[in-house]
């Protein structure tokens, strides 16, 4: 079927593809809004045609970054809410769903932060890895609760996002000690809680996060330090419910070593995986805006949110 996609959808898709729009929540919000735009703009004559257009728009958006977790979750949410037998009822329900999604999104990080903050105590030193706005939301909420916190910030090679984390924490007047990633185990003895984000969370309780998280989690367990993951529910990966594993992005080798320096060394392979996988037994809790969960139970929340299928609702027959 030769179904048209609204120009605004194409624009959003382009922005996602070119990473003008980036960050799990921002992508998700933009995708839901794009579907609402499509719904509003549609001049479909029949319910079937309307649905076909919506499917086409969703597929179009989905194809821009098929490995992102939040994007299909946004699409799924809107399709779950779209219901009706007439164009008008479909349109209205889709727009409503998109707005509901956005509204939940707006609240999610605050809610999550509040919950994560409750796990922290006044006077705690937290260790961070990479830069996660979800994890930082927990710190911010704890500060708002009047708790004093300090931070040990791992620089997080190869891209040193720890520097961004350090800067944010300094803006909140949190004392920061910056260390190289390899120093983590040594400093765990001075740390009360490890706090990380997630790129994706799997049904088997695994946390996919910035490379280095799994080693940090193993050391935290060995040192007796609790560790939590802060992750909005848009990070929950429905495909993992049916056993799919999360694809790990291999990033540019130049992030690891400067090409000129590399040339001096000689013919070497450089590998730069963006993420690794932390098994649930090394993580104490996953904090979401819908409550905290032991990693082994996150599948319960996933079943509430997604049902049992990991199919993509926009791919079904019209």
Task: Report which DSSP code applies to 154.
Answer: E
Buried b (16+ CB within 10 A) or exposed e, 15-25: bbeeeebeebb
User: Which range binds a copy of itself by CB under 8 A, 57-65, 87-95, 98-106, 168-176?
Assistant: 168-176
> Does the annotation list 25 as a binding residue?
yes
1 in helix, strand or coil? coil
Token readout for 130 is 């990479």
Which position among 104, 297, 311, 313 is part of the footprint of a copy of itself (CB under 8 A)? 297
Which position among 89, 147, 177, 318 is part of the footprint of a copy of itself (CB under 8 A)? 177
User: Which range binds a copy of itself by CB under 8 A, 8-16, 62-70, 101-109, 218-226?
Assistant: 218-226
Rg (the chain; Cα; Å) = 21
Catalytic residue among 130, 134, 138, 284: 130
Residue spans of alpha helices (H) in 82-121:
87-119
Phi/psi region, residue 191 (left: phi>0; alpha: psi -120 to 50; beta: rest), is: beta
Q: How many residues bind a copy of itself (CB under 8 A)?
A: 85
> 207-210 and 193-196 as β-strands: parallel, antiparallel, unpaired?
unpaired
Which position among 83, 186, 249, 316 is part of the footprint of a copy of itself (CB under 8 A)? 186
**Dist CA 156 CA 179 (whole Å):** 9
Q: Is 199 a catalytic residue?
A: yes
**Dist CA 289 CA 195 (whole Å):** 16
Which position among 7, 23, 123, 243 is part of the footprint of a copy of itself (CB under 8 A)? 243
**Dist CA 94 CA 164 (whole Å):** 37
Nearer Cβ to a copy of itself (14/281): 281
User: Which range binds a copy of itself by CB under 8 A, 3-11, 34-42, 59-67, 185-193?
Assistant: 185-193
18 binds a copy of itself, rule: CB under 8 A = no
Q: Shortest distance, CB of residue 277 to a copy of itself, whole angstroms?
A: 8
Q: Is 138 a catalytic residue?
A: no
Residue spans of alpha helices (H) in 18-86:
24-41, 47-62, 70-81
User: Which range binds a copy of itself by CB under 8 A, 60-68, 81-89, 97-105, 176-184?
Assistant: 176-184
CA 7 to chain centre: 27
Q: Shortest distance, CB of residue 308 to a copy of itself, whole angstroms?
A: 6
**Dist CA 83 CA 7 (whole Å):** 24
Which position among 7, 23, 123, 294 is part of the footprint of a copy of itself (CB under 8 A)? 294
Q: Shortest distance, CB of residue 130 to a copy of itself, whole angstroms?
A: 9
Contact 29, 299 (CB under 8 A): no
Q: Shortest distance, CB of residue 123 to a copy of itself, whole angstroms?
A: 12
Catalytic residues: 130, 199
| Residue ranges of the binding site for substrate | 22-25, 65, 209-210, 235
């Amino acid at each position: 079927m030769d179904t048209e996609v609204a120009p605004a959808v194409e624009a959003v898709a382009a922005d996602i593809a070119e990473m003008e729009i980036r960050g799990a929540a921002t992508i998700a919000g933009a995708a839901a809004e794009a579907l609402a735009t499509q719904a509003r703009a549609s001049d479909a004559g029949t319910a079937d045609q309307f649905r076909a257009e919506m499917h086409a728009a969703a597929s179009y958006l989905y194809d821009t970054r098929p490995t992102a977790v939040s994007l299909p979750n946004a699409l799924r949410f809107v399709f779950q809410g779209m219901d009706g037998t007439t164009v008008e009822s479909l349109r209205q329900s889709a727009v409503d769903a998109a707005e509901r999604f956005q509204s939940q999104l707006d609240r999610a990080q605050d809610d999550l932060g509040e919950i994560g903050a409750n796990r922290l105590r006044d006077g705690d030193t937290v260790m961070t890895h990479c830069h996660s706005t979800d994890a930082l939301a927990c710190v911010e909420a704890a500060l708002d609760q009047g708790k004093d916190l300090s931070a040990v910030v791992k620089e997080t090679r190869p891209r040193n996002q720890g520097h961004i984390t350090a800067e944010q924490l300094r803006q909140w007047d949190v004392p920061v000690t910056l260390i190289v990633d390899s120093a983590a185990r040594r400093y765990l003895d001075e740390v009360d809680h490890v706090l990380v984000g997630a790129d994706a969370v799997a049904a088997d309780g695994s946390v996919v996060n910035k490379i280095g998280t799994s080693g940090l989690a193993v050391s935290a367990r060995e040192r007796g330090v609790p560790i939590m993951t802060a992750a909005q529910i848009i990070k929950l990966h429905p495909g993992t419910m049916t056993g799919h594993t999360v694809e790990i992005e291999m990033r540019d080798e130049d992030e690891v070593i400067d090409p000129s320096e590399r040339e001096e060394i000689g013919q070497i392979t450089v590998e730069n995986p963006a993420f690794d996988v932390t098994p649930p037994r090394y993580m104490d809790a996953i904090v979401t805006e819908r409550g905290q969960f032991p990693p082994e139970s996150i599948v319960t929340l996933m079943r509430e949110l997604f049902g049992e299928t990991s199919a993509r609702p926009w791919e079904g027959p019209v």
